[in-house]
């Protein structure tokens, strides 16, 4: 029975690894780089959330200890310093601005440098009452930004709220995405950032898409 249980757990773990692997999609080479980026997105179903729950033992105890999940492989975190919260907030904002400046400039390297190595991007979507989550590759996004395009990718942000505690920061903001002078869509960005050494890096960027239901109070 124990051997059979371990084999079952092993199969479930393997399925989890396969299911969480995001397979890059080749660029379409279309005339619209924004469409190239969207074509690289992958959808993940909600059922995967239950895979990491180990099977219970005969007496209701977990058969295996809880798994440890490694999120990033950056250099070791530096000891906390006593810099003011205001200074830290300004540093976080500089990283956020680095991302959007890079988008406007079409600078793939600048955009990628705002993110940690293992950062993730994503967007929840709901259709016919079913919610899915669209994972996106940061590398593919940076490549799309750097690909030549006629209109500037100008993402304007406003109502920015930043909170910092030690090495962790959270930023919430409204955005409006313009292709040149034309409003394309808008919504909310939710970012999680971590301080590695002296630099703040985005480890997760999630957003919503409201279509054209935008706020007028946005930075230029």
- Give domain limits for the chain: 85-207
Quick one: fold of 85-207?
Nuclear Transport Factor 2; Chain: A, (3.10.450)
Q: In angstroms, rounded to a whole number, what is the distance separating the alpha carbons of residues 187 and 155?
A: 11
Round the average pLDDT of the chain to a whole number and report it.
Answer: 73
If you average pLDDT over each of 22-26, 45-49, 71-75, 99-103, which comes out highest? 99-103
Residue 145 · residue 111 · CB < 8 Å: yes
pLDDT of residue 127: 85
Q: In angstroms, rounded to a whole number, what is the distance separating the alpha carbons of residues 46 and 162?
A: 29
Q: What would the mean pLDDT of 6-18 be, rounded to a whole number?
A: 46
Residue 137 · residue 154 · CB < 8 Å: no
Per cent of the chain over pLDDT 70 is 59
8 vs 35, residue with greater confidence: 35
Q: Which two tokens stand for residue 209?
A: 């898409």
CA distances from 64 to 55, 57, 60, 68 (A): 8, 9, 12, 12
Q: What would the mean pLDDT of 18-37 be, rounded to a whole number?
A: 46
pLDDT of residue 126: 85
What residues form DSSP beta bridges with 136?
121
Query: pLDDT band for position 113 (50/70/90)?
Result: very high
Q: Is the pLDDT of residue 70 over 80?
A: no
pTM metric for this prediction = 0.65
pLDDT of residue 71: 42
Q: What is the pLDDT of residues 149-198, one digit of tens each?
A: 999 999 999 999 999 999 999 999 999 999 999 999 999 999 999 999 99
218 vs 46, residue with greater confidence: 218
Q: Is the pLDDT of residue 57 over 90?
A: no
Q: In angstroms, rounded to a whole number, what is the distance separating the alpha carbons of residues 132 and 130?
A: 7
pLDDT of residue 125: 86
Q: What would the mean pLDDT of 37-44 be, rounded to a whole number?
A: 41
């Amino acid at each position: 029975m124990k051997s059979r249980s371990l084999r079952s757990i092993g199969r479930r773990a393997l399925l989890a690894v396969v299911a969480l692997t995001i397979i890059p999609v080749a660029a379409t080479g279309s005339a619209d780089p924004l469409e190239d980026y969207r074509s690289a997105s992958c959808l993940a179903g909600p059922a995967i959330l239950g895979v990491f729950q180990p099977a219970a033992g005969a007496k209701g105890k977990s058969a295996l200890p809880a798994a440890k999940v490694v999120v990033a492989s950056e250099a070791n975190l530096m000891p906390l310093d006593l810099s003011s919260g205001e200074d830290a907030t300004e540093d976080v904002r500089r990283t956020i601005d680095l991302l959007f400046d890079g988008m406007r400039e079409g600078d793939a390297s600048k955009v990628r440098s705002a993110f940690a190595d293992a950062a993730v991007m994503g967007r929840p979507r709901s259709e016919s009452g079913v919610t899915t989550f669209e994972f996106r590759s940061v590398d593919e996004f940076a490549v799309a930004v750097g690909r030549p395009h006629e209109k500037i990718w100008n993402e304007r942000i406003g109502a920015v709220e930043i909170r910092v505690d030690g090495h962790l920061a959270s930023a919430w903001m409204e955005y409006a995405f313009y292709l040149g002078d034309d409003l394309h869509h808008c919504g909310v960005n939710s970012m999680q950032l971590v301080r590695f050494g002296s630099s703040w890096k985005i480890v997760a960027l999630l957003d919503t898409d409201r279509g054209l239901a935008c706020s007028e109070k946005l930075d230029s």
